[in-house]
Amino acid sequence: MPYRRTTFSKFVIEDLRRGGGGGHDPELAALLNDLQRAGKLIGAAVARGALDSPGAVVTTSLTVPGEPPRKMAAVANDIMLSACEWGGQLCGMLSSALANPHAIPVQYPRGRYMLLFAPLDGAANLDVDLTVGTIFSVLRAPEGITDPTPADFLQPGHAQVAAGYALFGPVAMMVITLGAGVHGFTLDREAGAYTLTHPNMRIPEDGCELAVDAALEPHWETPIRRFVQEYTAHGAGPEGRNCTIRWIDSLVAEVHRILLRGGVFLHPRDTRNTRKMGHVHLLTQANPIAMIIEQAGGVASTGRVPVLDVQPDHIHQHVPLILGASRDVERLQNYHLAYDRGESMAFDAPLFKQRSLFRTA
């Protein structure tokens, strides 16, 4: 019966008792509870859409270079800051929407955790009523640090204590990992609570959906071209699978589909700009998503190394992101390594030899 379902708050407490997140920790449980409250508030704001006054005041200034200002992303950023800064669990916060870390106001106590988040991933999709989400990551602050500098946030993904995302679509969901599996919760709007509906999520190995922006094909490296050709060869590929391409440019939506149905997500390096190694924000997007994917039995890679092994060198560093079922991602990673060794990437690609979406130079 619905009232017997496990709520998010109850699950977090019980999972921490079982050893998730490093063991029972009331501070971490309280922080995650604040995050679920933020998820409800952001979801409510997103659901109102154009019903809100177009002249509504937004207090946050989104200052990351190259990112267009979006009202709802600013609203989501403000909600995350105000919902999580007051509780005494955090000593600092890092948002992909702000150029610098957010300091905890002096009137609030400091804790030993740091929160990193992307306030509204896929915000451009709101104009056409598609799924968006909020991604978050929790790190421990270095010993003795109560006012972290940007350098204190530069921890590899393996250091994450917890990670998750809130999904705002036909239903509102939260998906989290505390380092011991991945679990999904659906918002029961009548009860006002996230309830456990997807315990122990695992990526199906036999999925056959590829999430990639095919319009960027002219700028892919050769290993990506080969993989996409094989994956979509309509039964003629190395495993005889008949797969399809999908792309909605919302990381949380693409990842959620892969968790449920399998497949692969590709946001590879773009050869147009070799100085910018990738398009996905490492600390607030790639790392938390990689933790979720690996806890669900999949693999997350830059194409050459595991995402969780990357040592950040800047708080707004971007990386390529390739994730999904282990056998597919590992095959693509082997293609990259062979390519870097100078081995021939010759392959039978009939689609490239005829008039089609994919053409060689």
pLDDT the model gives residue 346: 66
**236 phi and psi, to 5 degrees?**
-100, 0
Domain count, the chain: 2
DSSP three-state, residue 61: coil
Residue with the bigger pLDDT between 110 and 344: it is 110
pLDDT the model gives residue 304: 93
Are 82 and 17 in the same domain? yes
Are 184 and 279 in the same domain? no
Are 34 and 130 in the same domain? yes
Q: What separation, in Å, do the N-terminal and C-terminal C-alpha atoms of the chain show?
A: 60
Would you state the structure tokens that stand for residue 216, as one six-digit string?
Answer: 């960027």
Beta strand segments in 43-161, E: 90-95, 102-103, 113-121, 132-140
Are 98 and 174 in the same domain? yes
In this predicted structure, which of 157-161, 292-296, 343-347 has the lowest mean pLDDT? 343-347
Q: Which CATH number fits the domain that encloses residue 57?
A: 3.30.540.10
Q: Name the burial class of residue 3, with classes exposed (0-12), middle (13-18) and buried (19+) by CB atoms within 10 angstroms of its CB.
A: exposed
Element (H, E) at 163: strand 162-168
Last residue of a domain, one of 198, 223, 250: 198
Place of tokens 């997807």: 198
Domain that holds residue 132: 2-198
pTM exceeding the 0.75 threshold for the entire prediction: yes
In this predicted structure, which of 54-63, 127-136, 159-168 has the lowest mean pLDDT? 54-63
In a domain? residue 241: yes
DSSP string, 205-238: TT--EEE--GGGGGG--HHHHHHHHHHTSTT-ST
Are 135 and 171 in the same domain? yes
In a domain? residue 59: yes
Are 189 and 235 in the same domain? no
Are 155 and 254 in the same domain? no
Last residue of a domain, one of 198, 220, 247: 198
Are 45 and 152 in the same domain? yes
In this predicted structure, which of 61-75, 120-134, 271-285 has the lowest mean pLDDT? 61-75
Last residue of a domain, one of 198, 221, 237: 198
Are 141 and 244 in the same domain? no
Are 116 and 248 in the same domain? no
In a domain? residue 203: no
Q: Which CATH number fits the domain that encloses residue 224?
A: 3.40.190.80
Are 26 and 138 in the same domain? yes
Are 221 and 253 in the same domain? yes
Rg (CA), the chain: 21
